[in-house]
Amino acid sequence: MQYELVLLTFLPLLGALAIAFTPKGAERLQRLAALATTLVVAALGVRLFLAYGDSGSDQGRFLFELPWFSLPSSYGADTAVNFKLGLDGVSLLMVTLTAVLMPIVILSTWGHVHKRVKEFMVWMLVMQTGMLGTFLALDLVLFYFFWEISLIPLYFLIGIWGGERRLYATVKFFLYTLAGSLVMMVAIIWILWTRGTSDVFELINILCRAPLTEQLWLFAAFALAFGIKVPLLPFHTWLPDAHTEAPTSGSVVLAGVLLKMGTYGLVRFCIHMLPGAAVEAAPVMMALGAIGILYGALLAWAQDDLKRLIACSSVSHLGYVVLGLFALTPAGINGGMLQMVNHGISTGLLFLLVGMIYERRHSRALDAFGGVAVAMPLFALFWVITTLSSVGLPGLNGFVGEYLVLVGAFQASPLWAIVGLSGVIFGAVYMLMATRRMLFGALDKPENRELTDLNAREIGLMLPLVALVVWLGVSPNTFMAKTQPSIEMVNLRIAEARRAALAGLDAAPAAPASQREESAR
């Protein structure tokens, strides 16, 4: 299994290299090669998900490690930086989501990518390697390496294939994310200099014993980088522009996976590695998450552009993830992890549907529609299902995650739980109002009467994601049970940090936890 992690990570890159050497004009071959590559990766991802049993550990079920390079240490010995990949419960769902979503994204490009197809497919596959590597890296330097790789393709995807204001959106996206990355790099250099290791799980055992002041500075650096990526209020302003100008497939990947790199980093590094600082910073982070829920919902309500509306809704939905994670309760963390997957599926579906109607109508303005359900009944069916999923209808995927987040948040802070709950109401308002304006009413615009319904390819794109919407809503334990052992390790760290804080100590973990983690190695 360990070699499958390497194959899973680098197969998209190999596919990108193969496509780069195909002859100019062989667009069909390039599309099919990209689709075949992502389908194989999806099969590997599903296989790893199924093979990962319910007895996963904090160290991960599957590990692969090779020497990479070394750095002279301040203490005289070399600091080894290893090429270390591993799959554990914290990363399992994100890896599976990335693997499964990419074939759908590639297939969606048949409808909207008509120029420079070869370059588009190459950048898509390079980005998949970066995303998978980010979730699988168990070395801090390697994590940063993949983190940066995943940003470069999106820069070109928006800048070349984006809308009219693509250059503005690209530069804004790049500057925001670069600023966060540089701050994170400084924190990584400090850790290497003072601790002499970049192994993630060694650092989890070491840094949780660090003085609280040092933890807080490191927490601030990592939280800034990940908060920009989420994006967390007030660092959200790059997202609506990037989503609005990105091509459909770029928006799906951005919402489905790239934003989750930020929330994943919050769990892996800010909470698990620095639990003492997480406990101290939790009230601030919960406040930012809850305010982001309400602000994002109101911002989405004010939009007339469908794509911008969904982009602003991401600020609100990812606020739930941050609120749940920093409630630092078992229910909140479980809900936050599940909501990361739910948002990727539901918002990915919404962006796909917006792209489909834009290809026919060449407009995203809500005022340009009305009565579309008459002309496109299948489109209307999928849109309504996805909308209900997004607003948290019981029986669909959004309900369980939001419920756990709010329960966990109420245990930690009733005030911010109530603020977060108001986002549920406003979320239903703006999504249902947009649905009414677009799908229902009189079909009185001549352009809308000529609209054709979804074709077989587009229905094929919808069905797997809709199946996941129902599956996650009806049987969420299928997914949560696999992540539970690793999340229990995170909860154990938090409990020890709280006990240490009450005792006036620097968050040194108790012996039973250390023994338990050693046994999990």
Q: How far apart are CA 60 and CA 239, in angstroms?
A: 33
- Minimal CA–CA distance to 100: which of 495, 472, 473, 426? 472
Residue 371's region, left for phi above 0, alpha for psi from -120 to 50, else beta, is: left
Q: How far apart are CA 339 and CA 420, in angstroms?
A: 14
Written as one letter, the residue type at 408 is: G
Q: How far apart are CA 494 and CA 337, in angstroms?
A: 16
Q: How far apart are CA 407 and CA 413, in angstroms?
A: 10
Is residue 114 exposed (0-12), middle (13-18) or buried (19+ Cβ within 10 Å)?
exposed
Q: How far apart are CA 265 and CA 285, in angstroms?
A: 14
- 521 residues of the chain, pLDDT tens digit each: 678 899 999 999 999 999 999 998 889 999 999 999 999 999 999 999 988 874 444 455 678 888 888 877 655 567 788 899 999 888 999 999 999 999 999 999 998 888 899 999 999 999 999 999 999 999 999 999 999 999 899 999 999 998 888 899 999 998 999 999 999 999 999 998 888 888 898 898 898 888 999 999 999 999 999 999 999 988 888 999 998 899 999 999 999 999 999 999 999 999 999 999 999 999 999 999 999 999 999 999 999 999 999 999 999 999 999 999 999 999 999 999 999 999 999 999 999 999 999 999 888 999 889 899 999 999 999 999 999 999 989 999 989 999 999 999 999 999 999 999 988 899 999 999 999 999 998 888 888 888 999 999 999 999 999 999 999 999 999 888 888 888 988 999 898 888 887 877 544 444 444 444 443 34
Angle at 97 between CA 94 and CA 100, to 5 degrees: 150
Secondary structure in 3-state letters for 356-392:
HHHHHHCCCEHHHCCCHHHHCHHHHHHHHHHHHHHCC
**What per-residue confidence (pLDDT) applies to 505?**
53
**What per-residue confidence (pLDDT) applies to 58?**
46
Structure tokens of 272? Answer: 């698990």
- Residue 101: strand, helix, or coil: helix
Residues 101 and 344 sit within 8 Å (Cβ to Cβ): yes
Q: How far is CA 451 from the centre of its chain?
A: 33
Helices 275-301 and 212-229, packing angle to 10 deg: 30
Written as one letter, the residue type at 414 is: P
Q: How far apart are CA 509 and CA 207, in angstroms?
A: 10
Residues 90 and 138 sit within 8 Å (Cβ to Cβ): no
Residues 86 and 138 sit within 8 Å (Cβ to Cβ): yes
Q: How far apart are CA 337 and CA 404, in angstroms?
A: 10
φ, ψ for residue 175, nearest 5 deg: -65, -45
Residues 99 and 73 sit within 8 Å (Cβ to Cβ): no
**What per-residue confidence (pLDDT) applies to 446?**
86
- Total structural domains within the chain: 1
Structure tokens of 348? Answer: 């990915």
Structure tokens of 202? Answer: 């060694």
Dihedral sign, Cα of residue 380, residue 97, residue 431, residue 408: positive
**What per-residue confidence (pLDDT) applies to 381?**
96
pTM (2 d.p.): 0.92
Which of the 8 DSSP states describes residue 345?
Answer: H
Which of the 8 DSSP states describes residue 508?
Answer: P
Residue 329's region, left for phi above 0, alpha for psi from -120 to 50, else beta, is: beta
**What per-residue confidence (pLDDT) applies to 67?**
80
Half-sphere exposure at residue 124, Cβ-oriented, CA atoms within 13 angstroms: 36
**What per-residue confidence (pLDDT) applies to 75?**
54
**What per-residue confidence (pLDDT) applies to 40?**
96
CB atoms within 10 A of CB 36: 13
Residue 59 lies in domain: 2-520
